[in-house]
Amino acid sequence: MSLEIKAVKTRAELKKFVRFYTELYKNNQQVAIPLHMDELATLSSKNPAMEHCEMQLFLAIEDGKIVGRIACIVNKHECEKEKQQVGRFGWFDFVDKPEVSEALMATAIDWFQKRNIIKVHGPFGFTDLDRQGMLIEGFEEVSTFATIYNYKYYQQHIESLGFKKQTDWLEYKIFAKGGSFERVQKISDFVAHKYQLNEVKLHSKRDLKRYISKVFQLLNICYQDLYGYVALTEKQMKHYADMFLFLVKLDFLSLIENKDGELIGFGIAMPSFSQATQKAKGKIAPLGWYHLIKAMKKNDTLDLYLLAVLPEYQNKGVNAMIMSKIMNSALKFGIEQAESNIELEDNKKVQQMWRLFEHEQHKRRRCYYKNLVS
């Protein structure tokens, strides 16, 4: 048998790169298959991140069949922020053969070293809004649309390649029922009155468009010190807005303003698309749209995507206002449980919020690193 590592150079090869994940997980019931059109847009020149990022994709091919893939990324803005030459790897998927993962990573490291990179970490995408983190706990749980699902053997492979833990992200399941939710509502009412805060009333997505820039600017402020976060440019903000706006349901969006009309906090949630993308197999046509729209109308789980509050308003209960709006809407639609997005293990401020609800921490994913110079 012959194993070849091939650089992706054509559109046809890029499509094969994207579709490999769907093929690898076609019989898995926990995975949320990414939409192929989103992946193609992210990994092509259409992605505005390419203005300040260098990328190379590689495929592992054994006897004419694709058996693995990896993306190598150098984000110049990240290097400037970290004041060192750091690289990212992502889209690292492979069959359970050590020679495949070893050959892919060896090729990736060679690519990084030719660019004077001294440290590699991942799995990461281009930004914090791309999927990141290798799942190491919670393999029996259904993945969310915003996160990576991977097989258990990945951890053994990457650690055998000399990668070490950089940090972990945690995920929680939250239950919106019982007396705990009444407590959240009381806190919300108190905070709104004390600090003169208001929930923005949106009647259509046209109304929402006026706030999109403010939402991303707030995200840049609130997330700037989080591990791995790189500030979004204006073009990237528009890119992500165009990609996900059609999926946003206003009932599950909370925007909080102060008395001066300044946006000081927001929360975005969506009905779970995990089962819908499994059925769609990553494709929008011919029935992918149907499965996504059906998931938006009828669902038993809510996925919490993003939540941010200006630093000067943190620890004042604004999170309760945001969650009160979102969970109230969830209950109206018959949804009584939610999945958090990933949260850094040392982000105690966010984790404290879940104490207001019945909850359980049920998944853990890891960022790995390897120094390329001694």
Q: Which of 77, 105, 158 is nearest to 365 (CA)?
A: 158
Residues in the chain: 374
The confidence score (pLDDT) of residue 296 equals 83
| Per-residue pLDDT at 1 | 62
**Spatial CB neighbours of 176, under 8 Å, sequence gap ≥ 6:** 327, 330, 331, 335, 336, 337, 338, 357
pLDDT in the model for residue 200: 94
pLDDT digits (tens, 9 = 90+) for 167-215: 999 999 988 765 567 788 888 999 999 999 999 999 888 889 899 999 9
**Which portions of the chain are predicted below pLDDT 70?**
1, 177-180
The set of long-range contacts for 103-111, using a CB threshold of 8 Å and a minimum separation of 24, is 103/3, 103/5, 103/60, 103/68, 104/5, 104/58, 104/60, 104/68, 104/69, 104/70, 105/70, 105/158, 105/161, 107/5, 107/58, 107/70, 108/58, 108/70, 108/72, 109/370, 109/372, 111/56, 111/58, 111/72
3-state secondary structure of 252: helix
**Residue 84: burial class (beta carbons within 10 Å; 0-12, 13-18, 19+):** exposed
Whether residue 204 contacts residue 249, with contact meaning beta carbons closer than 8 Å, is answered with no
13-24: pLDDT as tens digits: 999 999 999 999
Neighbouring CB atoms inside 10 A of 109's CB total 19
pTM score of the predicted model: 0.93
- Are the C-beta atoms of residues 103 and 42 closer than 8 Å to each other? no
* Per-residue model confidence (pLDDT) at position 91: 98
Residue 298's pLDDT is 87
